[in-house]
Amino acid sequence: MPDANSLYGPLDPAPDAGWADAPPRMGFFTDTSVCIGCKACEVACKEWNDVPASGLDLLGMSYDNTGALTANSWRHVAFIEQPRPAGHRTPPFAGNPTDGPVSAAAAAVAAGTGNDTGTDPGVPPGDPAAAARMAAGPEFLGMPGAQPPGRGTGAAERTDFRWLMMSNVCKHCTHAACLDVCPTGALFRTEFGTVVVQEDICNGCGYCISACPYGVIDQRKGDGRAWKCTLCYDRLGAGQTPACAQACPTESIMYGELDELRERAAARVATLHERGVPEARLYGHDPDDGVGGDGAFFLLLDEPEVYGLPPDPVVTTRDLPRMWRRAGLAALTMAAAAVAAFVGGSS
Amino acid sequence: MSPQRPPVGDRFRHFLSALGGATTPAGDPAVPQVAAPAGVPPTTEQRRGGGRRGGGEPLNVPPAEFTSYYGRPILKPPVWKWDIAAYLFTGGTSAGSALLAAGGQLTGRPALRRAGRVAGLAAIGASTFFLIHDLGRPDRFHHMLRVARPTSPMSMGTWILGVFGPAIGAAAVAEAAPLLPARGVLGLGRRLLPPVGHAAGLVAAVTAPALATYTAVLLADTAVPSWHEAYPELPAVFGGSALASGAGVGLLAAPTRQAGPARRMAVAGAAMELWGSHRIEHRLGLLSEPYRNGTPGRLLTAGRLLTAAGVAGALVGRRSRLLSGLSGVALLAASLATRFGIFHGGVASARDPKYTVVPQRERVRRREASHSEGES
């Protein structure tokens, strides 16, 4: 008997998928406030999972030359450069540049770059204006002038700079649309509550790619199949920590039982608020959100969309019963119209 | 390193040149300004129409000021190629043709029956090709038969096709009975085929409405914003389009005195389709935009005009074989254009982060507003 919340709402996914005596649900808590952008997670993931190369070129997106999560990049470290008002934080030195930041202009141009990731759709180009707003930060300071930093304005206009870094990954949703729509059963729910693609089953229909509200899963060119983070299912089975969390030197990526991680995250946010970082917030931690909570959730320092995350994702299958009903209604209308067309007249 | 490989940093050099002097040490007055975010005009569209019926989320259109990581899409746009749009058309045409054939079979209109069955088989054959061709691993198409899963419209569609395809195929093969000799083993076939075809034709007709409308759920059950939010109306558009294209087959192939039901089917189908597509193009606020602009907008407009022309021709050209045939072609072309328009409209909505971020932000804002109201 499926749970009443099988399609939407708080749920423990592994027992719902039929696992008897499932172990506790495992997941990631990625605390971006301590991420240093070393990309050890990206490298460790590629090494352990034997993920192919994903292009070797510079994107102009700060230090991010990966671009996005793709079939060939299962961890992706995002880099965002934002100006901040100098305020009480580190004041710029006398010799420092004092003009408006170039980060917005640079981000706008970087929106158009690309890399041959060997996947489809890979890293598609973006909207320059939205990119500029991302780099402008929470306090938008106007567009930069054509001049290089350090000219044109006085010390009053000096700004500081902050660097947001965040290691993105598959969210292993409680309600995983990719899994729900998979027509072959290639995607399945593990006993740890994670979502994994079976490479020997997937036939590359591409449905999961359109269904994912986070734009995580992607198709590998030439190979044709869909690939994404497995939360190192093989390592989990052996009681080990996933490769990325193991490699993370600052423990920005924390792996463990989801319930425990959620407690740890709440405590961390409280600490940060206390220390004067009011912008710290959790993302994907809430079992009452649109996807029933993420197995991999985050602590962010700006709005989710700045990091390329949807602000309020909802699993598409929430509306599926209504969709089928509307389709049934249309099918009956069709049948009635066809009957009427043949009964309704003689000519 | 292989000599064919482009040198590392090619794109970055290109990027630098696009960035112009913004990174060069000396201020260059000739440096072009990069797109200013302040220059983005807010969208001032309002939701039209009165009450909302049939579900879906009402989306007021806030100004299109939004942020995204380097402006990149948040969703992965569908990897489905044109095959899937073409399948939407051929699958619908096959379903419409099967209904036409069954009607012809039951009311003694052999021309409609024959045309419907043969066109139905041809279209479902093409559909199967398109569906398998679009797979990343076509040799694994049979993996679709491993499971039957109501949460996957594609899985449900596979099984609907699995019933419909053989049925319409058997019905079409039965049309060859008169060609067989009267005696011998083949003569037995000549006597047995018509009743088998009769039963198979009815099975196909019963499955046909499901085949024509499940594809709407297939598109709506995705994160693609303009497909998902259109879920209340998409089945009507696809069902109506299927009826109209089936009617088109009838008008094209049957003599005018047998084509009466096809004319009425064309009117009913066009009414369903036009109602649905009008709602989709106006009810969804910001998410209607992709269906009105660019190529999808042109395709949907063409579809509407061709539908109107086809229905008008079908009604006026009661006695003209030529006019009936032409309106049949117009109806088929209309269905083709509508399917491609809906398909590409959705793809466009997934490619632009605006359609992901702005409605979700609006939802958050509304929720927070109702929360604070509840608390005070």
Cβ <8 Å between B70 and A61: yes
Confidence (pLDDT) at A17: 92
Number of domains in chain B: 1
Tell me if A59 and B15 make a contact (CB, 8 A cut-off).
yes
Q: Spell out the domains of chain A, with CATH numbers in brackets.
A: 23-314 (3.30.70.20)
Identify the DSSP state of A5.
Answer: T
Mean pLDDT of A305-313: 96
Distance CA A19, CA A175 (A): 16
Residue B70 lies in a domain: no
Among A151, A210, A345, beta carbon nearest to B78: A210
Question: Is the pLDDT assigned to residue A301 strictly greater than 80?
Answer: yes
Q: Please check whether residue B14 lies inside any domain of the structure.
A: no
**A72-86, A286-300, B273-287, B342-356: the lowest-pLDDT one:** A72-86
Contact (CB<8Å) B209/A146: no
CA A216 to chain centre: 6
How close does chain A come to B49, measured CA to CA in Å?
20
How close, in Å, is residue B109 to chain A by CA atoms?
10
Q: State the average pLDDT over residues A96-118.
A: 75
A26-31 and A296-300 strand pairing: parallel
- Domain contains B35: no
Give the model's pLDDT for residue B30: 37
Using a CB–CB cutoff of 8 Å, tell me whether B369 touches chain A: no
- Who among A109, A132, A181 is closest to B152 (CB)? A181
Its sign, for the CA torsion A12, A18, A21, A24, is negative
CA distance B52 to B283: 8
Give the closest of A125, A210, A305 to B224, CB-based: A210
Contact A320 B65 (CB under 8 A): no
Say if residue A129's pLDDT is above 60.
Answer: yes
Give CA torsion, residues B196, B198, B199, B200, to 10 deg: 80
pTM, two decimals, is 0.87
In a domain, B309, yes or no: yes
Length of chain B: 376
Nearest residue to B212 (alpha-carbon basis) of A332, A173, A9, A284: A332
Q: Is residue B347 part of a domain?
A: yes
What distance in Å separates residue A341's CA from the closest CA in chain B?
Answer: 5
Interchain proximity A181–B264, CB inside 8 Å: no
Run of H or E residues at B363: helix B354-375
CB-based contact (8 Å) between B82 and chain A? no
Nearest-angstrom CA–CA distance, B52 and B281? 14
Give the largest CA-CA distance in chain B.
97
Asked if A334 and B155 come within 8 Å (Cβ–Cβ), the reply is: no
* Interface subset of B 273-312, CB within 8 angstroms of A: none
pLDDT digits (tens, 9 = 90+) for A133-159: 888 765 444 444 444 444 455 444 556
- Give me the percent of chain A exceeding a pLDDT of 90: 68
Q: How far is B116 from chain A (nearest CA, A)?
A: 13
Mean pLDDT of chain A: 88
How many Å lie between the alpha carbon of B182 and the closest alpha carbon of chain A? 33
Q: Which two structure tokens, joined as six digits, stand for B298?
A: 């042109």
Q: Let me know if residue B160 belongs to a domain.
A: yes
- Local confidence band at A101 (pLDDT 50, 70, 90 cut-offs): low
Residue A312 has pLDDT above 60, yes or no: yes
pLDDT of residue B268: 96
**pLDDT for A347:** 55
Task: Assess contact for A43 and A20: CB atoms under 8 A.
Answer: no
Closest-approach residue (CA) in chain B for A60: B12
* Contact list, B158 vs chain A (CB under 8 Å): 183
The pLDDT score that the predictor gives to residue A99 is 52
Find chain B residues with C-beta within 8 A of A111's C-beta.
70-72
B54: chain A residues, CB-CB within 8 Å: 326
Residue A260 has pLDDT above 60, yes or no: yes
Answer whether the bond into residue A121 is a cis peptide, omega within 30°.
Answer: yes
**Which helix (H) or strand (E) covers residue A46, if one does?**
helix A40-49
Per-residue pLDDT of chain B (376 residues; tens, 9 = 90+): 455 666 777 777 777 777 764 444 333 333 333 333 433 333 333 333 333 444 444 444 445 689 999 999 999 999 999 999 999 999 999 999 999 999 999 999 999 999 999 999 999 999 999 999 999 999 999 999 999 999 999 999 999 999 999 999 999 999 999 888 888 888 888 889 999 999 999 999 999 999 999 999 999 999 999 999 999 999 999 999 999 999 999 999 999 989 999 999 999 999 999 999 999 999 999 999 999 999 999 999 999 999 999 999 999 988 899 999 999 999 999 999 999 999 999 999 999 999 999 999 999 999 999 888 766 5
From residue A180, how far is each of A183, B3, B246 by CA, in Å? 8, 45, 32
User: Domain for residue B165, yes or no?
Assistant: yes
Burial label, A97 (beta-carbon count in 10 A; 0-12, 13-18, 19+): middle
Domain membership of residue B142 (yes or no) is yes
- CATH of residue B277's domain is 1.20.1630.10
Which pLDDT score is estimated for A131? 87
Write down the ipTM of this complex.
Answer: 0.89
**Phi and psi angles of residue B375, each rounded to the nearest 5 degrees, phi first:** -80, -35
Residue B238 sits in which domain range? 82-360
Inspect the interface and report whether the beta carbons of B75 and A328 lie closer than 8 Å: no
